[in-house]
Amino acid sequence: MAKLSTLQYLDKALGGLRELGLLKGKSDPVPIVTLLDQISDLDRDKVTAIARTLNQASYFNEVVREQVSGIKVADRYEGITNAFNSIRDDSKALVDQYADGKIGTMEKISNIWMKMRRGTIADRFEKIKGIYADVTEETSNQIEREQLILEAYMDFRGAMKNAEVLSFDVLNKAEGELESAKEAVGKAVTNIESYTGDDQTERATLELDRDEKLRALQTADKRYQVAKDLSDNLTVGYNTSEVVMARLVQTKNAKERVYAQSISFFSTNEVVLTALSATLTGMHGLHESTQTLEAMKKGVNDSLEVLSEVGDKVQEAAVKAGYGPTVSAAAVKKLLDSVIAYQERSQEIIAEMRTLATENSKEIRVIVEDGKRRLARLAETGASSTLLLD
């Protein structure tokens, strides 16, 4: 396999991010690009490759950090674990309740509260199945996405390593330039020291040449330091990222292990949990059926006891009513006495009223006759009267 160049590694790494749709916008320029301009003339192609790699490093690393840190699986797996724990605890509580063959009032209230707060055990099991299906599908996609990011990151590290190699080449050239500048300064100093003439112009020219060579040495030393810092930090960055990469791979492997273990656990224990859910639900039904039968038996027994106690009295009363007298002689005698007494009293009242009527009619006649006599006397005296009394 042919060795890839720095730019090829970089293009491959960025292509991986582009394939995931993670390259959005442009990266901001980094200060080191300006710094590299100071040594670009040492080897323009190599310095350009290094500058492009470092220019993308900040943007690339930001994208990778954001994507890796945004992958979350543990929270939902923790929710599933808590649900399993609640099913286990509530199942044990229900079994304990049925141990004495009945459920007390407080236990009933506790069960109602449990269903309101967490749902029935069967409901929670169905919910877990739904969460499990969603999580496993998304987790699989996340692990695949994370793998692509890591592969892109490894390609980028290849670009960084190549950049380190190029930086050593640039450093060698900067070192060569520095050595040449040192030799030039040394030669210029020797020329001044070996000059024995009295020509001031010649001496001043030699001193100017020395100063220019010294200035060139200072520039070469500065450029050498830039190249040395570049190569040193690329070496440190590459090797440090090697350790960070190892930790990132460990995290990914741990996530894959959790994912695989979760699938294995659920697949092998689903039948157990299903049986548990069915058994507990059946136990609820058994309790209801048992209580219904007991209620029916108690109702029949109580009814038979009431029938034995009340039946004799009711039947006795019925026999008496069917075979006993209908009208009481005492009642007939009382009614007859009342009729005779009324008749006797009526005779007395009739005689009394007849006497009163005769006396009353006589009294009325006397009164009327007296009135007529008085009117006649008034007529004889000439008093006017229109009253006619017959």
Cα 128 to Cα 137: distance, rounded to the nearest angstrom: 14
- The pTM of this model reads 0.51
248 and 372 co-located in one domain: no
Q: In this predicted structure, what is the pLDDT of residue 221?
A: 92
Location of structure tokens 């590299």 = 36
72 and 170 co-located in one domain: yes
344 inside domain: yes
319 inside domain: no
Domain residues for the domain of 357 are 331-380
312 inside domain: no
Q: In this predicted structure, what is the pLDDT of residue 342?
A: 76
171 and 271 co-located in one domain: yes
Cα 227 to Cα 43: distance, rounded to the nearest angstrom: 11
Cα 96 to Cα 74: distance, rounded to the nearest angstrom: 33
Q: What is the number of structural domains in the chain?
A: 2
Last residue of a domain, one of 302, 317, 347: 302
369 inside domain: yes
Tokens of 278: 């069915």
First to last CA, the chain: 166
Cα 112 to Cα 118: distance, rounded to the nearest angstrom: 10
204 and 338 co-located in one domain: no
371 and 257 co-located in one domain: no
- Rounded-to-10 torsion of CA 215, 220, 223, 225: -100
CA nearest neighbour of 210 among 178, 230, 187: 187
104 and 170 co-located in one domain: yes
Going from the first residue of the chain to its last (390 residues), give the mean pLDDT of each consecutive group of 10, the final group possibly shorter: 64 70 60 79 85 74 65 63 72 61 63 64 75 76 74 77 87 92 92 89 91 92 90 84 72 75 75 68 61 72 74 70 71 78 81 84 84 74 50
Last residue of a domain, one of 261, 287, 302: 302
Residues composing the chain: 390
Contact indicator for 154, 238 with CB cutoff of 8 Å: no
269 and 341 co-located in one domain: no
Cα 232 to Cα 47: distance, rounded to the nearest angstrom: 15
Phi, psi of 40, deg, nearest 5? -60, -30
268 and 367 co-located in one domain: no
261 and 344 co-located in one domain: no
Q: In this predicted structure, what is the pLDDT of residue 66?
A: 67
352 and 224 co-located in one domain: no
172 inside domain: yes
- Measured on CA atoms in the order 39, 42, 44, 50, is the torsion positive or negative? negative
| Angle subtended at Cα 95 by Cα 99 and Cα 295, rounded to the nearest 5 degrees | 60
